[in-house]
């Protein structure tokens, strides 16, 4: 039944208009990633996202396209160097994070599937890992929403505090790029934090994070085997291959150099928009549903891997 109340109609249209204006402003060069996220969080408290049913898919596709676009700003040499340096740290941090998360979850008697989702999200790449693991372990919508809520909340905190910590400790671009790729959950927040810190940090963070994201596949297989899940549900992150192809094209095809800076610029703006969309999912009411145990678990594991990886990076790099 169509409402005849003009106030309701105008309020709905007004919310849509404000949302579209903010989204358009996000892709302008005047809005930083942290500010876009903050505006999204404020919007979530004042009004509901009028395009909520499209939000999840929009975040997924925009993030993938933006990351691929960033590949046009990198070279094969620098990407291989960053990927090689981060591989051992990635393996160690993923293993430790999963082991600690699953152990603490069992000790505190937290829902097993929520623990598996939070642990994999913290260990690998946030929402993408949760999306990959959830169908394998047959997680319910409520369990998925709790895990995603926790990860997105901590991502938001990381985006604001990591650059400040980096500057306070005097971390180099190289060190910060490595640290953010290892210690921040989601690719969008990794790139957002590194973008604020500097171009070298952005290049290193993006490369190491995507190399880390490849571990979705073996971890998915482990969950399928040891949790009685379905191997048919295992997904391969194909977009990472396209990202690598973009780096190769940018390195060996000089004709692309005239448009590459514009592609990179659009990609950075798209990531700012992604962070605004993520912010609109972080309402206080949705966070209340998370519960304190999963949140304490996620914070504990995150702080552990953040501090440990920082100490190792500071001692072994310059």
196 in any annotated domain: yes
- Interval 151-169 mean pLDDT: 94
1, 193, 259 from 35: Cα distances, Å: 39, 11, 28
Question: 155, 231, 242, 243: which is closest to 203 by C-alpha?
Answer: 243
Average pLDDT over residues 128-151: 90
Residue 287: HSE in the Cβ half-sphere, 13 Å Cα cutoff: 16
H helix runs in 108-231, sequence order: 112-120, 127-133, 141-169, 173-183, 187-197, 199-213, 216-226
Query: Count of domains in the chain?
Result: 1
Flag whether pLDDT at 11 surpasses 80.
no
Per-residue pLDDT at 10: 65
Torsion of CA 96, 102, 106, 112, to 10 degrees: 170
pLDDT at 250: 94
- The confidence score (pLDDT) of residue 238 equals 85
Burial class of residue 17, CB neighbours in 10 A (0-12, 13-18, 19+): exposed
Residue 219 belongs to some domain of the structure? yes
Rounded CA-CA distance 316/132 in Å is: 33
Q: Would 13 be classed as within a structural domain?
A: no
pLDDT at residue 193 tops 70: yes
CA distance linking residue 93 with residue 87, whole number of Å: 10
- Span 170-199, average pLDDT: 94
Whole-number pLDDT of residue 7: 47
- Stated as kind and residue range, the H or E segment containing 292 is helix 292-316
Phi-psi region of 109 (alpha: psi -120 to 50; beta: other; left: phi over 0): left
65 within domain boundaries = yes
Position 288 scores a pLDDT of 79
Residue 71 inside a domain? The answer is yes
The three-state secondary structure class of 303 is: helix
Q: What is the DSSP letter of 108?
A: T
Q: What is the mean pLDDT of residues 237-255?
A: 91
Is there a domain that residue 8 lies in?
no
- As a whole number, mean pLDDT of residues 128-146 equals 89
Instruction: Give the confidence band of 217 by pLDDT, cuts at 50, 70, 90.
Output: confident
Residue 54 has pLDDT above 80, yes or no: yes
**What's the pLDDT at 49?**
86
Q: Is 32 helix (H, G, I), strand (E, B) or coil?
A: coil
* pLDDT at residue 9 greater than cutoff 60: no
What burial class does residue 13 get, using C-beta atoms within 10 Å of its C-beta: 0-12 exposed, 13-18 middle, 19+ buried? exposed
Tokens representing residue 24 in the block = 């358009």
Q: Which domain holds residue 220?
A: 53-316
Question: pLDDT-based confidence at 24, cuts 50/70/90?
Answer: very high
pLDDT tens figures, 262-310: 999 999 999 999 999 999 988 887 777 778 899 999 999 999 999 999 9
Report the predicted TM-score, pTM, of the whole model to 2 decimal places. 0.86
The per-residue pLDDT for 252 is 95
> According to the model, what pLDDT value does residue 229 have?
66
Q: Is 58's pLDDT higher than 60?
A: yes
CA distance 141 to 147: 10
What does R_g of the chain's alpha carbons equal in angstroms? 20
Task: Lowest mean pLDDT of 82-91, 173-182, 208-217, name the range.
Answer: 82-91
Q: Report the distance separating Cα 57 and Cα 295, nearest Å.
A: 25
78-134 pLDDT, tens digit each: 888 877 777 888 899 999 999 999 999 999 899 999 999 999 999 998 888 998 899
Number of Cβ atoms within 10 Å of the Cβ of 66: 23
The fraction of the chain above a pLDDT of 70, given in percent, is: 96
pLDDT at 13: 83
For residue 37, is it within any domain? no
CA angle 152, 143, 235 (to 5 degrees): 75
Spatial separation of the C-alpha atoms in residues 173 and 277, rounded to whole Å: 27
DSSP 29: T
Q: Tell me what the pLDDT averaged over the chain comes to.
A: 89
pLDDT per residue over 68-81, tens digit each? 999 999 998 888 88
Task: State the average pLDDT over residues 133-162.
Answer: 91
Please compute the mean of the pLDDT values over residues 30-58 and round it to a whole number. 89
């Amino acid at each position: 039944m169509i409402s005849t109340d003009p106030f309701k109609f105008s309020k709905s249209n007004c919310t849509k208009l404000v949302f579209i204006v903010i989204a358009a402003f996000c892709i302008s060069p005047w809005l930083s990633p942290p500010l876009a996220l903050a505006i999204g969080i404020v919007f979530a408290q004042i009004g509901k996202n009028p395009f909520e049913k499209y939000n999840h898919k929009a975040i997924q596709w925009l993030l993938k396209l933006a990351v691929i676009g960033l590949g046009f700003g990198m070279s094969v040499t620098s990407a291989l160097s960053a990927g090689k340096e981060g591989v051992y740290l990635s393996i160690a941090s993923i293993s430790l994070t999963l082991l600690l998360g699953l152990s603490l979850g069992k000790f505190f008697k937290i829902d097993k599937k929520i623990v598996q989702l939070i642990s994999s999200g913290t260990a690998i790449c946030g929402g993408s890992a949760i999306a990959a693991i959830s169908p394998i372990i047959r997680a319910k919508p409520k369990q998925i929403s709790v895990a995603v809520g926790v990860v997105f909340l901590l991502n938001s905190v990381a985006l604001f505090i990591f650059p400040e910590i980096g500057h306070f400790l005097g971390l180099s671009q190289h060190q910060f790029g490595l640290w953010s790729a290892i210690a921040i959950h989601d690719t969008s927040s990794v790139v957002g934090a590194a973008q604020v810190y500097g171009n070298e940090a952005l290049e290193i963070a993006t490369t190491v994070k995507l190399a880390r994201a490849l571990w979705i596949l073996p971890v998915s297989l482990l969950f399928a085997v040891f949790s009685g899940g379905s191997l048919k549900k295992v997904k391969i992150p194909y977009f990472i291959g396209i990202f690598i192809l973009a780096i190769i094209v940018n390195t060996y095809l000089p004709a692309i150099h005239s448009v590459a800076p514009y592609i990179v610029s659009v990609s950075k703006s798209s990531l700012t928009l992604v962070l605004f969309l993520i912010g609109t999912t972080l309402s206080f009411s949705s966070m209340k549903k998370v519960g304190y145990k999963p949140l304490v678990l996620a914070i504990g594991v995150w702080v552990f891997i953040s501090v440990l990886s920082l100490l190792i990076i500071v001692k072994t790099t310059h």
